[in-house]
């Protein structure tokens, strides 16, 4: 008789454990600066450098399927980079690394601001995601105007 409550409790605990959602185990290995230098900046340069309008005249734009694929792939990189930027525990730079790019704040100041208002940081990352998603749709439609619009 005494075994019935024990087995009932055991079955209940096993059921609860099977229903629990596993938490993602993020392991950030690069810094925000590394992501910006290695993914975000090159991808953005490719997308928004793919079209040039000078004095109201289109001077440069993708024309071939291959050129549109390049724009689309760069936009995909930006979409995913926006998710990588949100991973908790990612530092702005490596310890001791200094700002040499003419930005007013040093890395530790930037990291402090991010940590103080994490939701603002996430909103900025979502803005990058949304702009890149527009660029994906523009590349799929081969719509030069929409590519330009995605950059604004």
What distance in Å separates the CA atoms of residue 106 and residue 92, rounded to the nearest whole number?
10
Domain ranges of the chain: 23-151
Q: Please, which pLDDT band fits residue 138 given cuts at 50, 70 and 90? A: very high
Encode pLDDT of 91-122 as tens digits: 999 988 887 777 788 899 999 999 999 999 99
Q: What is the pTM of this model?
A: 0.78
pLDDT for 14 beyond 80: no
What distance in Å separates the CA atoms of residue 21 and residue 74, rounded to the nearest whole number?
33
What 3-state DSSP class applies to 118? Answer: helix
Q: Please, which pLDDT band fits residue 1 given cuts at 50, 70 and 90? A: very low
What distance in Å separates the CA atoms of residue 59 and residue 147, rounded to the nearest whole number?
15
pLDDT at 54: 80
What 3-state DSSP class applies to 50? Answer: coil
What's phi and psi for 58, nearest 5 deg?
-70, 120
């Amino acid at each position: 008789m005494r075994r019935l409550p024990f087995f009932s409790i055991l079955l209940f605990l096993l059921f609860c454990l099977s229903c629990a959602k596993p938490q993602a185990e993020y392991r950030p290995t690069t810094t925000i600066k590394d992501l910006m230098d290695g993914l975000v900046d090159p991808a953005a340069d490719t997308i928004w450098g793919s079209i040039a309008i000078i004095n109201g005249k289109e001077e440069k734009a993708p024309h071939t399927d291959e050129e549109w694929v390049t724009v689309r792939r760069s936009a995909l990189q930006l979409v995913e980079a926006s998710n990588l930027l949100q991973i908790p525990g990612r530092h702005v730079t490596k310890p001791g690394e200094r700002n040499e790019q003419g930005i007013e704040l040093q890395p530790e100041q930037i990291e402090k601001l991010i940590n103080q208002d994490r939701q603002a940081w996430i909103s900025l990352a979502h803005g990058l995601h949304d702009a890149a998603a527009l660029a994906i749709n523009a590349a799929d439609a081969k719509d030069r105007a929409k590519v330009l619009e995605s950059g604004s």
